[in-house]
A and B are shown apart, each in its own frame.
Chain A
Amino acid sequence: GAGVSQTPSNKVTEKGKYVELRCDPISGHTALYWYRQSLGQGPEFLIYFQGTGAADDSGLPNDRFFAVRPEGSVSTLKIQRTERGDSAVYLCASSSGTLYTGELFFGEGSRLTVL
């Protein structure tokens, strides 16, 4: 499809394990965002890429969280030593411009459950 694709759609893991979540943005979109949405809450910003570089990673909660976008397209969010509090839906979004010039297109999210 032509939209933002996220895999896996569901991931169940055990506390302490390592997890990778993948985002495939819309082709040609230079801006890519990761958000986290806990149950009953609004999305919470994690990190923003413009091209290959992280333009703003101020939302990453701690050093267990890391994201890359090596070729300026696909991005991977990596979580080390997962904790139960990491359970949430991780949303990826992409845009051809910025938040203020272009529309942000969201994927359906990756639901992470840490047991």
Chain B
Amino acid sequence: AQKVTQAQTEISVVEKEDVTLDCVYETRDTTYYLFWYKQPPSGELVFLIRRNSFDEQNEISGRYSWNFQKSTSSFNFTITASQVVDSAVYFCALSRGSQGNLIFGKGTKLSVKP
């Protein structure tokens, strides 16, 4: 069965600190997709990244970076030099195979204090 585990329920950092949000997944599918979404207090989920199972190349987008390691079934997300506006709940999600819908983790609430 597919499963996504975000072990960190809440993280609190001070502005400008780097922070890594962990995501571990379980699947028996050979083709699948992994996602990260941000949910600010307004409640609207915002897409951050999609990665397919054949692409283990790490990605950097501004202050955001993602580390995908199939050997450990992890897809971790790092925010460099965090800002107050980064405060939100972050969700990691896994697709059911290559066509199925998403299974979300329980989310990590990030609080960035000034």
Contacts and interface: CB of A to CB of B under 8 A. Distances in A.
Contacts of A108: 42-44
Contacts of B50: 99-100
A106 B102 CA distance: 13
B45 interface: yes
Contacts, number: 53
Interface string A1-37: 0010000000000000000000000000000010000
Contacts of A44: 104
A108 B107 CA distance: 17
B101 A106 contact: no
B30 to A, nearest CB: 15
Interface size class of B (residues with CB under 8 A): 20 to 34
A40 B52 CA distance: 27
A48 B101 contact: yes
Interface residues of A, number: 24
Interface in A32-72: 33, 40-45, 48, 56, 59
Interface stretch (B54-62, B67-75, B90-98): B90-98
B106 A99 contact: no
Interface string B27-43: 00000010000000011
Given A42-B106, A42-B107, A103 B47 contact: yes
18 contacts: A3-B44, A40-B106, A41-B106, A42-B104, A43-B104, A45-B101, A48-B101, A56-B101, A59-B101, A89-B43, A91-B45, A100-B50, A103-B47, A104-B47, A105-B47, A106-B45, A108-B44, A109-B44
Interface of B: 4, 33, 42-47, 50, 52, 91, 93, 95, 98-107
